[in-house]
Amino acid sequence: MDFTICPFCNEDVPSMELERHANNHFENEEQAIDLEVAQAISLVEYDETGNGSGEFDIHEKKIRSLSDLQIRANFHKVEPGLMTLLKKCLDLESEKSTSIISGYVDHFESIEFEDVGWGCGWRNIQMLSSNLFSEREESKKVLFGGCGFVPDISSLQRWLEIAWGRGFDVIGSSHFDMAIHGERKWIGTTECAALFRSFGVRARIVDFDSKPCLENQGVQKRKHDQVYGPMDQFLSGGSRADVSSSSAKRGHEVLMEWIWNYFRKPGNDRVIVSDKTPLYFQHDGHSRTIVGIQVKHQKNGSRQYNLLILDPAHSTVALERSLRENVGWQKLIKRGGHTLRKPQYQLCYIDSGIADKDETEKLKILESIYVEF
């Protein structure tokens, strides 16, 4: 039997067992750090009872502990960047079209035996975070204690618990009993928004619904009654009818046009890079990240849209290979309007800038823009 020296502990290990043995080192390290974080937080809670020093605010102590002990997410990094490869492929397409895409975005895939089947929401948060770290300096300074990297799921779960503890999305947190660390529970758009808002990042929610908003049928939609950011102004101003009220538009065309208007940026290039963040895209059973949209102008004057999506269920290596070879990437990334068959969708987008203390208090209550299609 062939043996190989483990690069982490210098132990002789059967070659066929090396990968499993090496992975155990990472698992043990993560467990040890999780334990250290839990111990630090328990000491903070002990202080808060009055039996300890109680010198600092409990949440500030938790934030400080987690900032020091959180773990960087492990992912396959694509050089010179996945969006750079996507832009090249879109430029090479033969059909006449215009595409608008976000700037830098890393792809985070769900990992077998780790988060397959429940972790898509966390992976989408990681994708949005990678864009914020790369494209928005103001967000980079405040996110996750200013660590400068995208944390792993375990660390994100702890950050969300801290956000809940500080009063962000009280209603939503009650569905999880304010505890999610170590749980394999699905999260959605509201958890994404609450997490980002806890750092003063202006995360906004949009509900798209094909059903009438009837309170007497037990359906109560959050209505947005205050204008904060540019897309809210778009929907609340004179252009709102173009998006949400036109009976001439069929179903999900409303969703497509909203996304087109969100990413839209002046320019004559075939592929335009927008300064907008990707969109957290939620529907029943799954969530993905929208990194752009493509429009093809038809001879009859109509427009055909394709969403450009990164799916946590896909392999990053497979995505990279298909884009480098310019083969098969359309099946992985493009989604036409005919694929949008769900009756309800939710989006989360992020406005620029960081909220001050007073605005951050208002961000604790989650509202959404309601769009019926």
With a pLDDT cut of 70, the percent of the chain lying above it is: 74
As beta bridge partners, residue 205 has 348, 368
Average pLDDT over residues 73-84: 97
Q: Is the torsion defined by CA of 130, 131, 132, 135 positive or negative? A: positive
Going from N- to C-terminal start, the domains of the chain cover 3-69, 82-372
Q: What is the pLDDT of residue 298?
A: 81
Helix axes 18-46, 153-165, angle to 10 degrees: 20
232-254 pLDDT, tens digit each: 333 333 233 233 334 345 678 99
Q: Residue 255, exposed/middle/buried by CB under 10 A (0-12, 13-18, 19+)? A: buried
pLDDT surpasses 80 at 25: no
High-pLDDT (> 90) share of the chain, %: 65
82-372: CATH topology is Cathepsin B; Chain A (3.90.70)
Average pLDDT on 347-361 reads 96
Its pTM stands at: 0.80
Ranges of H-type helices in the chain: 18-46, 58-69, 82-92, 120-135, 137-142, 153-165, 170-174, 189-197, 230-236, 240, 253-263, 316-325, 329-333, 357-362
For 200-239, how does the pLDDT look when each residue is reduced to its tens digit (9 = 90+)? 999 999 999 886 544 433 333 444 433 333 333 333 332 3
